[in-house]
Structure 1
Amino acid sequence: MPVLTVAVVEDDAQMREAYRAFFVHRDGYEHVGEAEDGEAAIDLYERTRPDILLMDIRLPRMSGIEATRRICVRHPEACVVALTTFGNYDFIVAALQAGASGYLLKGSDAATLDQALRDAIEGDMPLSPSVRRALVRAVTQKGPSPHGASLLTPRETELVGWLASGLSNREIAKRMFVSEGSVKQYLTHVSSKLGVKSRIQILVRAMNLGIIALDDLPPDQGQAE
């Protein structure tokens, strides 16, 4: 397992200390720095170029969303994962539009956080279950299209179903008995057919088209997510 360098942006000193302890004592990570406001976050990224930058949303001097936007404009390859207590739609959309590679709610257990960060590096865009549901609810209020199901093959529809369950490419590959490379090819084909680019856009578009239903998503789990 490759060692991932991680930097943390958090204005709460106790939370910074907790994250520092987590990454220092957990195998597979190297804690390379921290910042307590949005402006310092940009400098932190420039100095350390971490594999993952954990970014709080509500920060002094500059919001985490604006800091994320500026970092991702300068460095499109940056992997910035929002980790916050704010799970409302406006914050979620703003962070993802700014370039965030994932959106997690604070309170995740160690194993969940570890897997989410690994997923982010692999391009899987980790989202807490309630975050995913907030996005989907907001964009599906118009109701599904009656013609969506015919756009995808049964195998592609199966993949979208596993995607809705929050599985990573590796997990989907195991369920579908194919390689991870095949899963990526399926995702490319589905993205092209639906006219979208990212995994979450596939999910949202599939909901709009009636390919999957809101009930297909994993249940909310509150702060245990």
Structure 2
Amino acid sequence: MTVVVVDDEVEVRDAYRAFFARRPGFSLIGEAADGQAGVAVVAKLRPDVVLMDLKMPLMSGVDATRAICETDPNARVVALTTLATRDHIVAALRAGASGYLLKDCGAEGLVRGLHDALAGEMPMSPGVRLALVDSVRREDAHTQASSGIVTQREAELLMWLAQGLSNQQIADEMYLSEGSVKQYLNRIADKLGVRSRTQILVRSLQLRIVDLDTLPAMGP
């Protein structure tokens, strides 16, 4: 898996370089110290996954993520930051980030998150999903409910998605193949006018296609 790291702290980039050098199956092929340089490096190298800090000079990680994803809708950009506020989480996901990890996720959490992002899943550190749902709950009073956008079967799939299930787990719950789940997600994405799995979740919650009050409690 090829990786590009965008982070303004030299020590952090050094740590990632050492980390990936010890990890078989990973290759750190590029680095950047600010969002603007990150956009250029990603455009040149086209890595499998980008690890993106959010608070940086010249161009923020959110703006850099948006620029990367607008150029390449299939780009996998994972926010990797110390910022855990609702505003930062929602801004990164709306910009097109494929996931949101906190820098205390640990080595195995980082590796798992990278694999999940590349597989089209939605890596999130503990507590990030709860903050996301809470943010959408605050906003949905200002958003009209949109019924009839998706079929009943698609709405069921979105319910499982909102509970954090992977594509394979959703397939098991709905007695489908994993390939069929991906096809459903592609159709839903087209209907909602979004790109990534995470954006599907955000938009479906905003439009009240998924009823927050009927979801089971999600642990931290």
Q: How would you bin the TM-score normalised by the shorter chain? A: 0.7 to 0.9
Q: CA-to-partner distance for each residue in 1:88-145, whole Å, 9 max, x for gaps? A: 1222222223222222211112232222222222322323342222222122235699
TM-score of the two chains, using structure 2 as the length reference: 0.78
- Give the whole-Å Cα distance in 1 for the aligned partners of 2:102 and 2:85: 11
State the 1:181 CA deviation.
Answer: 0.9
Q: Please tell me whether the aligned partners of residues 98 and 198 of structure 2 are also in contact (alpha carbons under 8 angstroms).
A: no
Residue type of the alignment partner of 2:10: A
Superposition pairs for residues 3-22 of structure 1, below 5 Å?
Answer: 4-22=1-19
Q: What does residue 223 of structure 1 align with?
A: none
Q: What does residue 25 of structure 1 align with?
A: 22
Q: What does residue 181 of structure 1 align with?
A: 179
Superposition pairs for residues 69-218 of structure 1, below 5 Å?
Answer: 69-141=66-138, 142=140, 153=152, 156=154, 158-188=156-186, 195=192, 197=194, 198-204=196-202, 205-206=204-205, 208-209=208-209, 211-213=211-213, 216=216, 218=218
Q: Please tell me whether the aligned partners of residues 159 and 215 of structure 2 are also in contact (alpha carbons under 8 angstroms).
A: no
TM-score of the two chains, using structure 1 as the length reference: 0.77
State the 1:60 CA deviation.
Answer: 2.1
Once structures 1 and 2 are overlaid, which stretch shifts more, 53-62 or 134-143?
A: 134-143
Point out where structure 1 has 5 or more consecutive residues left out of the alignment. 221-225
- Give the whole-Å Cα distance in 1 for the aligned partners of 2:163 and 2:42: 32
- Give the whole-Å Cα distance in 2 for the aligned partners of 1:217 and 1:9: 34
Aligned with 1:33: secondary structure?
Answer: strand
**Structure 1 residues 203 and 113, CA gap change in structure 2 (3 angstroms):** same
State the 1:26 CA deviation.
Answer: 1.6
- Give the whole-Å Cα distance in 2 for the aligned partners of 1:218 and 1:58: 28
State the 1:25 CA deviation.
Answer: 1.6
Q: Please tell me whether the aligned partners of residues 5 and 30 of structure 1 are also in contact (alpha carbons under 8 angstroms).
A: yes
Identity of aligned residues (%): 49
State the 1:175 CA deviation.
Answer: 4.5
- Give the whole-Å Cα distance in 1 for the aligned partners of 2:215 and 2:146: 19
RMSD (Å) for aligned C-alpha atoms:
3.2
- Give the whole-Å Cα distance in 1 for the aligned partners of 2:177 and 2:132: 29
The number of aligned residues is: 215
Q: Please tell me whether the aligned partners of residues 161 and 212 of structure 1 are also in contact (alpha carbons under 8 angstroms).
A: no
Q: What does residue 53 of structure 1 align with?
A: 50
- Give the whole-Å Cα distance in 2 for the aligned partners of 1:68 and 1:200: 14
**Structure 1 residues 185 and 211, CA gap change in structure 2 (3 angstroms):** farther
**Structure 1 residues 174 and 47, CA gap change in structure 2 (3 angstroms):** same
Once structures 1 and 2 are overlaid, which stretch shifts more, 167-176 or 128-137?
A: 167-176
Q: Please tell me whether the aligned partners of residues 92 and 131 of structure 1 are also in contact (alpha carbons under 8 angstroms).
A: yes
